[in-house]
Structure 1
Amino acid sequence: MSGKHHNNLTLKVPLLSKWKLGHFRDDEEKVIASHPSNKNAISFFRTCLNGVNAISGVGILSVPYALASGGWLSLALLFCIAAAAFYSGILMKRCMEKNSNIKTYPDIGELAFGKIGRLIVSISMYTELYLVSIGFLILEGDNLSNLFPIEEFQVFGLSIGAKKFFVILVAVIILPTIWLDNLSLLSYVSASGVFASGVIILSISWTAAFDGIGVHQKGDIVNWSGIPTAVSLYAFCYCAHPVFPTLYNSMRNKHQFSNVLIVCFILSTAGYASMAIIGYLMFGSKVDSQITLNLPLNKISSRIAIYTTLVNPISKFALMATPITNALKDLLPRTYKNNRVTNMFVSTVLVISTVIVALAVPFFGSLMSLVGAFLSVTASILLPCLCYLKIFGSYSKFGFETVTIVVIILVAIAMGISGTYISFVEIVQNLQ
């Protein structure tokens, strides 16, 4: 669908649809992804930086483990999931262009299914973003404790081990980035995250080629029992859809958003596939849920990869947490909404809560698999497809597009159920 036709759709918004969205707002500003002022509207390039940073997340460390779980043939599933996630992103864009009052992901759910739709979308997206943020802290704790093993010590009668100490330390470092609420400023933070992802791939490739590890593992063609885990982790790689409305509304030229998605998905998927293949060839079935935990610590290239890995969560945490903090701020009384001290307090409480959960459930691979199977599949594939069918009435038209979307929905449901069950069982077993 061309950009010109999209604009025509926007101009022909039914008054009833506008009323549906406006009725529940009560004139309150929905700050999750509100239209920025002209001075804060950001360029195509900066939007791409934010988009690649959001999509190409810490999943880059777990794709070798995903490939090892499912075998070589499961790599095809990565590309299938990437294609489905890209298409659902396009569907979200069409929904946002259908009604100019749509500013957030929950708005799309409300336009499609009313208050119930808003509630379901809100719960799924905020839970997903929250758990991804927790995964960032777990990753930091695992890698830092691997680099700098320290002995357990006591603080106010509590035993603090290396992982717990580093999770808390990283949270303190990340906190100032949560206080930023301008995506134009966050794009500079995102640039460091995109650069870090590239450095990680190059460093690990260097370790394989020149530091004695090599790429000698043959691996399995397919491992049917591990396919649900592989699919869940692949889906986790594309869990950025709740951020898309924020990115869309922050753009200076919104008609270019489709091109932004193309750039972001191509670059991110190329990075994921490269890392999966290199990591699996290096360590085979023995690869850990984070490939950095397999790297020899006495090699400079390995240390560069690990140190750079530590930059990624710091650069991405704010982008993922911003929709949550803005939603929490929106619940405050009007007199406190724009209070800087109050906003900082809300952001700080959110970070503290993620630390508590990260310390209680420190299982990166299982947690990310659960996020991918249940939440990423729901928020990034299933809900955009369902909302699009309802908003555009496509479910009543039996055409190629409708058939394609229905197939995606059915496959997503099967992926979600099987992956969620396996991931949940793994977490319960680890807690025992």
Structure 2
Amino acid sequence: MKNSISEQSFYIESEEEDDEHLEKHENEEEGNESDFSNEDNNDDETNRPNSLTSAWPQSYRQSMDLYSNVPSPSLHFLGTPSLSRLGSSFFGSSLIRRHTPEVLPSLHKPLILPAEEEKAPHRRSSHGLIPPLHPRKSSIKKIPDIERPSKDAHGLPISHQSTYGQAVVNGMNVLCGVGLLSTPYAVKEGGWAGLSILFIFGILSFYTGMLLRYCLDSQPGLETYPDIGQAAFGTMGRIVISIILYVELYASCVEYIILEGDNLSAIFPNAHLSLGGFELDARHLFVLIATLAILPTVWLRDLSVLSYISVGGVIASILVVLCLYWAGLVDHVGFESKETILNLPTLPVAIGLYGFCYSGHAVFPNIYTSLADRSQFPAVLLTSFGLVTLLYGGTAVLGYLMFGDSAESQFTLNLPKELMVSKVAVWTTVVNPFTKFALTLSPVAMSLEELLPSKHTKSHLYPILIRTALTISTVVVGLAVPFFGLVMALIGSLLTMLVTLILPCVCFLRILKGKTSRLQVTICVLIITVGTASALVGSYSALSKIIQSII
């Protein structure tokens, strides 16, 4: 891709000259290797608009790839000698700049190796305006591995393309999060009839996930959710959508903090500490301890190890659910007849909780563009949504049958403390956020690092301060609003409805204006209406309950 340098660019002059020399040398070699390589590189240069490579945020793709691709372990801390060469980003300035002075081998290695280890020459949309049945294939012969380009359009090492199985696991890992813990509580708030909302949101979310694919295919160069926003509404659309996505990630970090305090204080309810005349109860104490334990992971420059471990989030979620089933079916905890069919007064809270369960759209474009066979994306999406919905639904039904109207915002808090399965479930829940917190916060931090003046790009101090300040702020918010279920309902009602239901439809109608069928327009308008109504009602209900709880 042609280099477009502005005054606010994060390039370093001396490295820029080296990069140009290296690029010239590589181009000469590529010219002697094959005509295909030249054609493909030139095609990428002309197809990806310069505005997409210069508008903020530039780090979104790479930071979110930690969710949709699993890199190989390459662990480095801040302050290493190579960091000054790599710039201010903890992943290396290659996430902000176009090149790095050294090659980072095996930076992105899938957890599940594909059958054929192929590298994608470029990540970009390859379909027409309306999704075809099969992805576009080149008639030119396959390039040997040694001749394939080792970097993508941003100069980053190109990760292995995902197989169907990998993509399904990645999709489930994104969708199956802490929302699983609150599904019994959601049934309590909405009643048995309210459980239908979970399945309705699942269907609508699957459809809007497909709309994101259509948007990516509408023109070359679109790779991320912010790219879609820019294609629909210009630079302002990119910025607004990015801010919404980052706020959602930040709010998820707040949930992790609340989760740690609630579960650790349940394990050690009598813990306390007197510090400087202040008496810290169990919850405040463990929030501070958890923060001190999490903080070093936030300072990591390369989070590939955490990304490896975080994929175990699917296994952790299944393990926690199995513990719930064991407690109910083997240890005979609970199981009373529940007659609450519909709970209208608190149904809006349930709407937000069910909406939160499908907050994965920020990563779906990354999963789609990393697929080796993009025609498999509908099947990937359907499988991921189907399995996750079954997991959510089964947990909701069993948890509410066991605990009824005494169901807590996290079902782990209802499990009898003396049972071994309870200890396994609680500790699994406690450990999981330690790997996910840094991965969730890093995209937010990296976007702020991009805004640093160029004179501070080599500084180690400013990135550390940014990430530390963000972490501390999540603690402050978590302690000020320590209501796990209500905060989740607010996130699900306000942010998830925007990201999952409203914005995909709005962008689809805007980008493909005049090329959509009447049925597509009708469905999109219906989804926008449902999303807007759910956002208004759910947000108002969650906010009012939070204010009442604080007062």
Bin for the TM-score computed over the shorter chain: 0.7 to 0.9
Match of 2:191 among 71, 83, 91: 71
Give, in whole Å, the separation in 2 of the partners of 1:29 and 1:167.
Answer: 31
Kindly provide the amino acid, as one letter, of the partner of residue 118 in structure 1.
Answer: R
- The answer to whether the aligner puts 1:31 opposite 2:52 as a matched pair is no
1:3-402 alignment, distance < 5 Å:
19=49, 22-23=50-51, 25-26=53-54, 30-34=58-62, 37-41=156-160, 43-44=162-163, 45-179=165-299, 185-249=305-369, 256-334=376-454, 336-337=456-457, 343-393=463-513, 397=516, 399-402=518-521
Give, in whole Å, the separation in 2 of the partners of 1:209 and 1:12.
Answer: 59
**Is residue 33–residue 249 contact of structure 1 (8 Å, CA) maintained in 2?**
no
Give, in whole Å, the separation in 2 of the partners of 1:29 and 1:131.
Answer: 19
C-alpha displacement of 1:187: 4.2
Structure 2 match to 1:426: 545
**Is residue 151–residue 161 contact of structure 1 (8 Å, CA) maintained in 2?**
yes
Task: Give the 3-state SS of the residue equivalent to 1:221 in structure 2.
Answer: coil
Give, in whole Å, the separation in 1 of the partners of 2:364 and 2:434.
Answer: 20
Match of 1:407 among 523, 526, 541: 526
Kindly provide the amino acid, as one letter, of the partner of residue 505 in structure 2.
Answer: C
Aligned sequence identity (%): 39
CA RMSD, 1 decimal: 2.8
Kindly provide the amino acid, as one letter, of the partner of residue 525 in structure 2.
Answer: V
Give, in whole Å, the separation in 1 of the partners of 2:301 and 2:376.
Answer: 23
Give, in whole Å, the separation in 2 of the partners of 1:321 and 1:89.
Answer: 23
Instruction: Please report the TM-score for the alignment, with normalisation by the length of structure 1.
Output: 0.88
Give, in whole Å, the separation in 1 of the partners of 2:496 and 2:550.
Answer: 23
Q: After superposition, what is the alpha-carbon deviation per residue over 1:97-152, rounded to whole angstroms, capped at 9, x for unaligned?
A: 32333343222112111233223212321111111110111011101101112343
Once structures 1 and 2 are overlaid, which stretch shifts more, 257-266 or 272-281?
Answer: 257-266
Give, in whole Å, the separation in 2 of the partners of 1:380 and 1:274.
Answer: 23
C-alpha displacement of 1:233: 0.4
Give, in whole Å, the separation in 2 of the partners of 1:400 and 1:360.
Answer: 46
Kindly provide the amino acid, as one letter, of the partner of residue 173 in structure 2.
Answer: N
C-alpha displacement of 1:344: 4.6
C-alpha displacement of 1:417: 0.6
Kindly provide the amino acid, as one letter, of the partner of residue 359 in structure 2.
Answer: C
Kindly provide the amino acid, as one letter, of the partner of residue 429 in structure 1.
Answer: Q
Give, in whole Å, the separation in 1 of the partners of 2:492 and 2:458.
Answer: 34
Task: Give the 3-state SS of the residue equivalent to 1:159 in structure 2.
Answer: strand
Kindly provide the amino acid, as one letter, of the partner of residue 421 in structure 1.
Answer: Y
Task: Give the 3-state SS of the residue equivalent to 2:521 in structure 1.
Answer: helix
**Is residue 64–residue 276 contact of structure 1 (8 Å, CA) maintained in 2?**
yes
Give, in whole Å, the separation in 2 of the partners of 1:100 and 1:338.
Answer: 34
Change (3 A) 1:337 1:84: farther
C-alpha displacement of 1:284: 1.0
Give, in whole Å, the separation in 2 of the partners of 1:405 and 1:146.
Answer: 44
C-alpha displacement of 1:168: 2.1
Q: After superposition, what is the alpha-carbon deviation per residue over 1:154-212, rounded to whole angstroms, capped at 9, x for unaligned?
A: 33444322112212222233334445566864542223211110011100111011223
Q: After superposition, what is the alpha-carbon deviation per residue over 1:255-287, rounded to whole angstroms, capped at 9, x for unaligned?
A: 544443223212211111111001010011111
Kindly provide the amino acid, as one letter, of the partner of residue 390 in structure 1.
Answer: R
Structure 2 unaligned regions, length at least 5: 1-41, 63-122, 124-151
Give, in whole Å, the separation in 1 of the partners of 2:179 and 2:256.
Answer: 10
- Structure with higher Rg: it is 2
Task: Give the 3-state SS of the residue equivalent to 2:60 in structure 1.
Answer: coil
Structure 1 unaligned regions, length at least 5: 1-10
Once structures 1 and 2 are overlaid, which stretch shifts more, 310-319 or 182-191?
Answer: 182-191
Structure 1 match to 2:133: none
**Is residue 235–residue 377 contact of structure 1 (8 Å, CA) maintained in 2?**
yes
**Is residue 181–residue 322 contact of structure 1 (8 Å, CA) maintained in 2?**
no
Q: After superposition, what is the alpha-carbon deviation per residue over 1:358-387, rounded to whole angstroms, capped at 9, x for unaligned?
A: 111111111111111111101111111101
Change (3 A) 1:24 1:247: closer
Give, in whole Å, the separation in 2 of the partners of 1:100 and 1:337.
Answer: 31
Task: Give the 3-state SS of the residue equivalent to 2:195 in structure 1.
Answer: helix
Give, in whole Å, the separation in 2 of the partners of 1:217 and 1:310.
Answer: 31
Change (3 A) 1:303 1:84: same
C-alpha displacement of 1:307: 1.2
Give, in whole Å, the separation in 2 of the partners of 1:195 and 1:61.
Answer: 14
Once structures 1 and 2 are overlaid, which stretch shifts more, 411-420 or 206-215?
Answer: 206-215
**Is residue 382–residue 409 contact of structure 1 (8 Å, CA) maintained in 2?**
yes
**Is residue 111–residue 391 contact of structure 1 (8 Å, CA) maintained in 2?**
yes
Kindly provide the amino acid, as one letter, of the partner of residue 411 in structure 1.
Answer: V
Change (3 A) 1:329 1:97: farther
Change (3 A) 1:172 1:153: closer
Aligned length: 417
Relative contact order (C-alpha < 8 Å, sep 6+): which is higher?
1
Give, in whole Å, the separation in 1 of the partners of 2:453 and 2:167.
Answer: 32
Give, in whole Å, the separation in 2 of the partners of 1:217 and 1:180.
Answer: 50
Once structures 1 and 2 are overlaid, which stretch shifts more, 411-420 or 208-217?
Answer: 208-217
Structure 2 match to 1:6: none
C-alpha displacement of 1:411: 0.8
Structure 1 match to 2:536: 417
Q: After superposition, what is the alpha-carbon deviation per residue over 1:76-101, rounded to whole angstroms, capped at 9, x for unaligned?
A: 11011011112111211222232333
